[in-house]
Amino acid sequence: MHTPPYATARIAVSRLPGGETTDDVVAVEEPLELRINGRPVAVTMRTPGHDEELALGFCISEGLRPEGARLPDDLAANMVEVDAPGFDPDRLARSFYTSSSCGVCGKGALEAVAVEAPRVESDLRVTLETVSLLPGRLRDAQAAFELTGGLHATGLLSPGGNLLCLREDVGRHNAMDKVIGWAFRERRLPLAESILCVSGRLSFELVQKAAVAGCPVLVAVGARPRKRLHGAVADRPLTGVLLVGGGSTRFGSPKALALLGGETLAERGWRVLGEACDEVIAVGKAADALPLPFPLVDDGTNDRAPVYGVIAGLRAAAHDVAVFLPVDCPLVTPELLRGLGDAVAVPQTGPLPGAYGKDMLPDLETRLQGGELSLRGVNRAVLQVDACLLRDVDVYADLATMR
């Protein structure tokens, strides 16, 4: 899909380690002032482009009934005007700065969070096969994400899985608002015969927006919300553990710092776990002093074996189940990790990546005391997954085959 001209920018960056300077494409984030009937009511941080749709979708999600939106002649003004006859400014107590990451967080009271929505009336049924294809179709159409790796997306699809509209933004709720605004302009509301698909985890607000838009099916690639809304119920909370590792004799340097697609393997693993899990921690050896952009839990030993990382991760995890991802498995997807976590299982290829419960700690510690360093047999639950996604990076040449 087409990327708006101001959605990305090219800047000079310094990469670590080594401090090499190179050009990179990044996502743009700028403020947008929303005015209703000439009155300023909100400022949101967003990725420029499709601003009228964003404003319309925002208003609809707040329970308003807009008629149209327009930009000023001076586009640099970063403002959009919405026409909404009958708008009561006292009803929308939201004249505040709202970030791109969360549109609920600025609400001044609990009663301001909930928005009335009619019951979603639809006979739409979607097959599991269709659902499984949607995240891939969304990802294939994310032109700006392909350039930057830094944008969320929402897609509107037909019952058969055909992409009708896709919008990208630094804020996941902004991307949803843009799609809803597009649907309003195209006279497609309510979305009783459509599917919404988002690129990351679900949140309370995204489910609420889908409900207000009348959409019966909402698909996500990350964790489900714990908050119940219109029948949405979460599965078990999940901790994601990135096994960072250290130096590799065969690889020649720490794999965690190797670059793939503009990000290090460590950054990639952390991001993927974040899309799948409720909590993410990294385990490794503090003595390696790797320049990582996130905190590291030390595994407490000078020996190198994955079992030490699994034990340390389970001890540090806030939840009863943790899914472990070695840093050198860059093709693993959030869907695969969540599947392993929901099943508390390991793949058919071996113990990592895999999910382990805190109730397995005593067995792990007993095996370790007996000198057993292998994880095989600790978790006997096996989930059949796509083995192609489990390829690991062994030598530098492997990176070229994974781009």
Residue 329 is among the residues annotated as catalytic for this protein: no
Annotated active-site residue in 102, 197, 215, 277:
102
Contacts of 127 (CB under 8 A, 6+ apart): none
Q: Which two tokens stand for residue 182?
A: 């597009």
Q: Which residues of 210-219 are buried (b: 16+ CB within 10 A; e: fewer)?
A: bbbbbbbbbb
Q: Which two tokens stand for residue 171?
A: 């804020």
| Pairing, β 152-157 against β 163-169 | antiparallel
Q: Which two tokens stand for residue 268?
A: 């990639």
On whether the CB atoms of residues 212 and 115 are closer than 8 A, the answer is yes
Residue 257: CB atoms within 10 Å: 19
On whether the CB atoms of residues 355 and 345 are closer than 8 A, the answer is yes
How far apart CA 178 and CA 275 sit, in angstroms, is: 21
Residue 41: CB atoms within 10 Å: 22
The catalytic site residues sit at: 102
